[in-house]
Structure 1
Amino acid sequence: MIGTSLPEYIFIRICIIGLSLITPVSVTYCILHLISFIFFRTGVLKPSFLPDAPCPVEIWFAAETCFYLLFFLPYSSYLQRPAVHPTLGSRAERKELFEKCHETIPNPERYIRGWFKGAPLEEIGRDQVIIFFGWAFLGKDTFDDEESEELEEYVSGLESLIGRPFHPGNGKAKSIRLTLDPVPLQYRSLLWYCTVGVVDLSIFVRLPLSGFRFYRTSLLSTLHHLPLRPQALLTRHHSPARHVTYWHRPHTSKTHRPIVFLHGIGIGLHPYIPLLASINASVKGLAGDDGQPTDGQIGILAVEILPISSRLTHSALSRQQFVQEMTLILEKHEYLKDAGFVLVSHSYGTILSTHLIHSPIRSHIRGILLVDPVTFLLHMPDVAFNFTARVPKSANHHQLMYFAGRDVGVAHTLARRFFWAENVLWREEVGGNEGIMTTVSLGGKDIIVDAECVGRYLAGLDGSSEGEGDGSKNNKGEGDGNTNEVNGWKNKEWTGKGLEILWSENCDHAQVLERERKRRPLVRAMRRYSRIE
């Protein structure tokens, strides 16, 4: 993640404006030349009416124009199709989920204002709160009498929590409803996808140097990605799954378990190569930093999640599809044996980790590392607000909004394939009580999640940072006392047992991965969980 300095702001704004202008310039040039050609043939204009660009530039402009008009416009309309919501269970199960959510809301007013895009409480009408809960717990915006009665019960519960009733009627404010709202995608040019292709090619060069082998899906499936991946056709290894491709480093150690890695939103595995290499470097027949000798290399299975990797491809898999395909892959490489494996994930990858934790695969997971997780407290507005509704101000805000939130694949994934009730992970589902050692890495300056709130929740403390009431947050702990008793969870020594937190005070989202010194505690946790005792 980029920083917040003025030079970085100028740089990111220039990049975004430049990329955004490519298509308008291309279409305008082609239209003017078409008009010029038509009128020149009729003798109305002279040949010199419009100067010609160099031939390669004209070809590029024509390609950009055709791509936009013939592919993107109909494709963007196709992506606006309604989401297919999963069944959320019985009314009793929904009521239990509602109560669990409300038990973990530290600031009820900030909670509802965040979902209503920071609107003042006076502008939030009771009818709109009913519509919001209808999306959150029923996945729709029309209700029968029994459902209306259920939603009235939820609204009354929230009013009791806030300590005041909502104004009757609709009110001025409208809520965020991720899977019912329009998909907020923004066009990407062919030049951008070519750039992604170059980065993708660098992955195919760098990962094999660390002993990884690429496993592709079928030939037909490989040809359905943009940018194309011709280098993927050179591999002799095939994924047993229909959609999921991955990189695998064979596991040969008898004293350590293999690792499964799930990446976050961005440009694929490229930012994570140093982290994966850090694990590999410590196990080449030498003792790791835990003092334990190794007798081979730790296997690593790094999964590619293409729909959130800045490319045009298939839609994000449903929870059931992902678990089924991961089961095939893990069985192929014998990860579902008694020794089990370590599950490591970052950002959106923690959502997919949650699906595995909630599946039969859970019984084979021996340790969990969640870096910048977005899966805890998903009923809070921070993730949805920061991705879809926040007006960007700083450089990192603009980077997140344009290169992540508005990317075609990411926008569709969040707006049509992201169902919070099946993605949320609760504190009691991980850690010592459940028998799975778990470490959660949080950054104090994270602009996506309220890291302070999540940390206090995981530490079992009541209350949280108060935030600003608009879906953003204040991670300084103001108003909380800031005593050693309150904030001691940030500085606890890591032991590798139970549920533990690694707190990086000055790190934004993903910045803990950028430098070796910051990555060191993560690598230590992975090695510790990997060791067979």
Structure 2
Amino acid sequence: MASPATHRDHAGCLSEKAHAHPSRDLLFYLVLLGAVLPVWSLPPLSWAFVLYSLYSGAIWAYAWRGQLCFGIALVEVFFSVYHYNIARFVSRPSPIGPGDVVELQAAFKRVLQAGLANLPEQGFDEEVLDVDRPGSPAENIEKLDANDPRAIDFRNSLRTWFGKVPWSSIHRHEVNCWLYWSIFNAHLPTLDAIPASHRKILNEALEMIEMRAGKTIPSGSNPSAAPLLLTLDPVKIAWRPLVWYLIIGFGNLAMKHHLLSWWGMEVKVKDGIEYLVRVPRGWDPNTGAAPVVFLHGLGLGLLQYHPVVVHLLHHLDDAPVLVPLQPHISQHFFHPHFLTPKNRRETALVLREVLIELGWAKDEDDQEVEGLVGMKGKGVTMVSHSNGSYTHAWMLKAYPELITRSCFVDPVTFCSWEGDVCYNFLYQRCTTALHLIMRYYVGTELGVANLLQRHFDWSSNSLWYDEIPHARNPSRAKFFLGGKDVILSADRVKRYLTSHGVRKGLWYDPDGQHGSALLGGSPGFNELMRWLKEPAQ
């Protein structure tokens, strides 16, 4: 995936190079002191004020303002206890259990095949898996030389899962721990307790890794190179006050009310999934503009993505627009499904039924749905941002025929097997102001932590180039990346896409941050709106 020339320059040392963290600048500390600590400190300050008031007896001398402050602080104290107990509940072992072993083995083999073919960055493999989906190589996994650029690149990438330590410090025990987690979503048992079938799978996977890496992994253990076990490691949750969740909750209600009152959207619910939808008056599923489905990412829900939705409704006034609401990644603390996100199959099935009921797509048997006689929907344009690209991937894997055009903005679904997203978002030491804001206000929030650290399914969330219909057609597939994205490795995703022939459909901003392409008026956003309005070819 990386250019051979680059590897020749660093042959033998790239995977051994120590990872250096950038130094923290003044802006980092200003954000820490001005934006993070004031919110973080509210619960402990509330505890201190309540305890002082009760212990000193000062509460009896407070005027009404003091009593009001005491009451607010007392509520925060009770909420912090409640939050602590929920955090303990979330920190229990992952409820998703091991996945389908056969499917996981196939996905793992696919990971090892990625990058085996010498695909030029501005070309693509002529070998195709499907007439309509040319794409990723189906190369045989064979023993590579240690100095082979493909082996060096693989070692350098895989060590991300071990905290980016030098490759030579990674030992067999830690690799087995990582493999056992990635395949069985469990801690590695003692050798005599591993079932024979699991041991066979583990040994085969380890052998393929050594072949792909071009080096034998040293036996024994090195605790300093412990692997990242996302769904098994302790959940990282940073407390926040009740007032924070109240502000977010009321803000989202206000944004929803605005979309309903001023933009003609409706709120509907289908099997536990709530969504907003606007269908223009007189729109015809046979001749009208293609419907647009927008899948938002982690953050504050409508409070964060309201400007994007408004722009979609304004610029695409002749097209239906649908926005699934995702409370588990929107800090919607008081929603009944806040801690119970639907899995890949449930989500894809419900969204499919929603599209069919709206008349935007046909069912797989091309049958008329009861009550929707005459509906001849032709599919939708799906736009996803960041974490929304996982749901986008689920739909493409399960029902690609429902999606006629795909647009990925800051997609974390590509190259997610390489560990950059996991490491950058949850494990890496924060060094920039933006990274700190993302870590505290998003990454360590209760609902987000529950989703990512206890419900994450890497094989379901990984999307391959050949799973995207018409990926090389710029009017049918569009990709937006920012070169300074602190979450995903935009350069590696860019190389992955361009090596498979994606050129005109790729918008790459070398100075773009995570989310830059969704900022109204930015060049990336203008290009997104232009692409959405142009007809598919």
Alpha carbons 1:275, 1:523 under 8 Å: kept: no
1:354 matched to 2:387? The reply is no
Q: Where does 1:438-517 land on structure 2 (aligned, <5 Å)? A: 438-460=477-499, 492=503, 494=504, 500-517=505-522
**Deviation string for 1:132-177 (max 9, x for gaps)?**
0111122222331221232122223222333332232121221111
- 2:266 and 2:387 mapped to 1: Cα distance? 22
Measured on the aligned residues, the alpha-carbon RMSD in Å equals: 2.7
SS in 2 for 1:133: helix
Q: Where does 1:103-118 land on structure 2 (aligned, <5 Å)? A: 103-104=113-114, 107-118=153-164
- 2:325 and 2:480 mapped to 1: Cα distance? 22
| One of 175, 185, 203 as aligned partner of 2:255 | 203
| One of 531, 534, 537 as aligned partner of 1:525 | 531
5+ unaligned residues in a row in structure 1: which ranges? 41-45, 216-237, 285-296, 462-487, 495-499
Aligned to 1:318: 343
Task: Using the TM superposition, give the Cα deviation of residue 433 of structure 1 relative to its aligned residue in structure 2, in angstroms.
Answer: 6.9
- 1:415 and 1:513 mapped to 2: Cα distance? 27
**Deviation string for 1:235-263 (max 9, x for gaps)?**
xxx42332x22211114253311111110
Task: Using the TM superposition, give the Cα deviation of residue 129 of structure 1 relative to its aligned residue in structure 2, in angstroms.
Answer: 0.4
1:22 matched to 2:42? The reply is yes
Q: Which moved more, 1:116-125 or 1:382-391?
A: 116-125
- 1:57 and 1:177 mapped to 2: Cα distance? 43
1:178 matched to 2:230? The reply is yes
Aligned to 2:330: 309
* Alignment CA distance shift 1:240-1:112 (3 Å): closer
Aligned to 2:129: none
SS in 1 for 2:41: helix
5+ unaligned residues in a row in structure 2: which ranges? 1-23, 116-149, 362-375
1:156 matched to 2:167? The reply is no
Residue identity in the other structure for 1:298: A
Alpha carbons 1:9, 1:395 under 8 Å: kept: yes
- 2:527 and 2:211 mapped to 1: Cα distance? 43
Alpha carbons 1:115, 1:175 under 8 Å: kept: yes
- 2:536 and 2:170 mapped to 1: Cα distance? 54
* Alignment CA distance shift 1:283-1:120 (3 Å): closer
* Alignment CA distance shift 1:86-1:335 (3 Å): farther
Q: Which moved more, 1:71-80 or 1:274-283?
A: 274-283
- 1:127 and 1:7 mapped to 2: Cα distance? 41
Aligned to 1:249: 278
SS in 2 for 1:345: strand
Runs of 4+ in 1 over 6 A off after TM superposition: 50-53, 433-436
**Deviation string for 1:352-408 (max 9, x for gaps)?**
111111223x21211011110011112101011012210001101101110111010
- 1:278 and 1:36 mapped to 2: Cα distance? 55
Q: Where does 1:47-66 land on structure 2 (aligned, <5 Å)? A: 54-66=66-78
* Alignment CA distance shift 1:119-1:282 (3 Å): closer
Residue identity in the other structure for 2:461: N
**Deviation string for 1:514-533 (max 9, x for gaps)?**
132330111122223xx477
SS in 1 for 2:404: strand
Q: Which moved more, 1:503-512 or 1:138-147?
A: 138-147
- 1:433 and 1:509 mapped to 2: Cα distance? 22
Task: Using the TM superposition, give the Cα deviation of residue 95 of structure 1 relative to its aligned residue in structure 2, in angstroms.
Answer: 3.9
Task: Using the TM superposition, give the Cα deviation of residue 78 of structure 1 relative to its aligned residue in structure 2, in angstroms.
Answer: 1.1
* Alignment CA distance shift 1:140-1:512 (3 Å): same
Task: Using the TM superposition, give the Cα deviation of residue 268 of structure 1 relative to its aligned residue in structure 2, in angstroms.
Answer: 0.5
- 1:158 and 1:438 mapped to 2: Cα distance? 33
**Deviation string for 1:465-514 (max 9, x for gaps)?**
xxxxxxxxxxxxxxxxxxxxxxx97xx5x4xxxxx211122111101111
Alpha carbons 2:339, 2:450 under 8 Å: kept: no
Task: Using the TM superposition, give the Cα deviation of residue 8 of structure 1 relative to its aligned residue in structure 2, in angstroms.
Answer: 6.6
- 2:510 and 2:78 mapped to 1: Cα distance? 48
Aligned to 2:270: 240
1:121 matched to 2:160? The reply is no
- 1:532 and 1:94 mapped to 2: Cα distance? 35
Residue identity in the other structure for 1:118: K
SS in 1 for 2:178: helix
- 2:201 and 2:78 mapped to 1: Cα distance? 50
* Alignment CA distance shift 1:53-1:171 (3 Å): farther
- 1:335 and 1:270 mapped to 2: Cα distance? 27
Q: Which moved more, 1:266-275 or 1:386-395?
A: 266-275
Task: Using the TM superposition, give the Cα deviation of residue 409 of structure 1 relative to its aligned residue in structure 2, in angstroms.
Answer: 0.4
**Deviation string for 1:395-453 (max 9, x for gaps)?**
01101110111010000100111100111100011142799921111111111111111
